[in-house]
Amino acid sequence: MASVGGENADDAKPADGAASGHARSRRDARHSRSASRSRRTRRIVGWSIAGVFLVLIGCVIWVGVRGLMAKDHLEAAIPLAKSTQDQIVDGSTEGASADAQELADHARAAADLTSDPIWRAGELVPWVGPNLRAVRQAAQATDLVASGVVLPLASSVQQIGLSSFQPVDGKIALQPLLDVQQTVSGARQAVGSAADIVDDIDPDDLIPQVSSAVELLRASVDQANGVLIGVDNATQLIPAMLGAEGPRNYLLAFQNPAELRAGGGITSALALIHTEGGSVSLVQQASSSDFTKFDTPVVQLPDETRGLFQDKAAQFVQNTTLVPQFDLSGQIASKMWTDRFGGSIDGVITFDPVALSYLLAATGPIQLTGIDEQLDSSNAVEFLLSGVYERYPDPNVQDAAFAEVAKAVFDRISAGSIDQKKLLDAMMRAGQEQRFKLWSAHAEEQAVLDQTTLAGPLPVTTDDSTGVGLYLNDATGAKMDYYLTASTATTSQSCRADGRPIIRVQTTLTNTAPADAANSLPRYVTGGGDYGVTPGNVSTYVYIYGPDGPADPVNASISLGINAGIEGGQARTAIDQNHTVAEFKVELAPGESRTVTADFLAQPGDPLDVSLQQTPMVTPSVYTNEILPESSTCEFG
């Protein structure tokens, strides 16, 4: 048994060793397979990471290359935009159209390069994303302006030509204007959409290069938007005003800022303009001496306005612009003319000798036949507002000179003997300086005018700026405002817990007349003391209009106007159509200056940037605007 048992035991040992070896082999195999799988997994993960890394690198390269290509296209578009504009103005229609097409091609390429899925995906990446998004939006806006504005307008100009708008024998062809109405309206909508896109770009987290480019684009688009609004308004208004739908009559009122009125100057000469089917003719002229005082106001002024200016504006033709609201002035002048001469008036247009000097740059010199004088852009202002009184003391001769100048310029323009580019520049400059205004008796046309500077409204607060006003009315009773100058500054600050900005309006008036003005200037100019003003002195009513907003006549000085004063005295405060008004009376001896100041509270959320509406003077006033840093301490008010 033992032997057997020993045999069995000895026989069993190799068997156990074989089993152990097999087990080890199985374990080794499992380990080998596991290691292999691990190596394969590591290789897969490694290759996956490498693949993702390569994809990311590829995407970065893709976006980078396309970004550089887009940048090249946008940079190439910049000079083309300027050259297109210049060639349109210069009348080079073929060149403008070619440049506009090339501009549109570059803009489209830039937009395509920055709008693919990879680029859009990159916009989700922190830090990089906002910059890619801004570049895409900028390219999109540029493409919209190029294809929707520049190209169709350049094509329209090539089709009709600027010469189509040249008057010939007193007639302007209206069909070209009618033909471009739809194109201009579409361009206005396109540039408005582009402005919305650019305004949607968040300036935060942008690198300086992108941020500065976006700001430059925003300024350009905003400027183009403003221009297109004006052009669209013009193409809608001009055909009707020129009699496309029937005859029209317009009253032309010549303002004299040597005797200031809030809306410009004393009305010294008038003319009736008739339009029909594009034909324009001057049919009648009159002077202020043809009108006597109206016993009752020809137009009922709003109670608040009458409280400031009384009824004088609606009783004397010289005072039609005594009130700063030109829609009122237009109605007054129209009613005075029809009461005196009959007929009907479709609108009123005003301009002054300074605007006339701008027009003379387009028409060239004119020779006055009634008196031996030649006027050009360099001497018209001095002669009409100063020299005429010294050389021709008879008021009838003065009025005749004003009338002849107006007729000579009108004849030159209606005959087409003008430099069109200079004429356009003159009209734009006169409009911006409030020297050229227009009121329409047709409600739908006045609604369009109300959107423009030509309407001469009271100050308006917009999304971009808070409007204030500075208006001047002569109190000398003579022509001394030729020597009056003004320097005005507005300052704003956010410093109150209720969020209402404080706005300061401060103006310094100076009498620049010679020291011996009382003796060296004609009595007609100094007034001779007839109205209680020392000869040689300048006396002026100053009206500072605060921002528009809810105004309670009971506590307006508390809720809107918080401080008003003059060196040596205080202002009278009043309300006029939602504006708190500070009124001053200032008298200046030759060489003397005085400063008046009014502080106002704007409404919560009103912009700190301030825009000033002001009376146009012989010498354009100096204006500055300063925004103080936000603070819990108010520096004025």
- The answer to whether the CB of 194 falls within 8 A of the CB of 221 is yes
CA 486 to chain centre: 22
pTM (2 decimals)?
0.81
pLDDT digits (tens, 9 = 90+) for 598-610: 889 898 989 999 9
- The answer to whether the CB of 186 falls within 8 A of the CB of 148 is yes
2 token code pair: 């033992």
pLDDT digits (tens, 9 = 90+) for 356-383: 999 999 999 999 887 888 999 999 999 9
Answer CATH for 248-443 from 3.30.160, 3.30.1380, 3.40.630, 1.10.287: 3.40.630
**Residue 55 CB neighbour total at 10 angstroms:** 12
Give the residue ranges of DSSP H helices in 542-607.
Answer: 556-559
Comparing C-alpha atoms, which of 203, 456, 221, 463 is closest to residue 352? 456
Look at residue 627 in the predicted model and tell me its pLDDT.
96
- The string of DSSP codes covering 197-213 is HHHTS--TT--HHHHHH
Look at residue 562 in the predicted model and tell me its pLDDT.
46
Q: Give the residue carrying structure tokens 């227009």.
A: 438
Q: Which helix (H) or strand (E) holds 485?
A: strand 484-493
* pLDDT reading at 461 higher than 70: yes
**Residue 391 CB neighbour total at 10 angstroms:** 14
φ, ψ at 414 (rounded to 5°): -65, -25
CA-CA-CA-CA torsion sign (530, 535, 536, 540): negative
Average pLDDT score over residue span 535-560: 71
* pLDDT reading at 561 higher than 70: no
User: Which of 162-176, 370-384, 546-560 has the least mean pLDDT?
Assistant: 546-560
Length of the chain: 637
Q: What angle do CA 591, 596, 601 make, to 5 degrees?
A: 160
* pLDDT reading at 145 higher than 90: no
* pLDDT reading at 491 higher than 50: yes
Look at residue 539 in the predicted model and tell me its pLDDT.
96
pLDDT digits (tens, 9 = 90+) for 37-96: 555 555 555 545 544 444 445 445 545 555 566 667 667 666 766 666 666 656 566 776
Look at residue 156 in the predicted model and tell me its pLDDT.
74
47-50 contacts: CB < 8 A, separation 24 or more? none
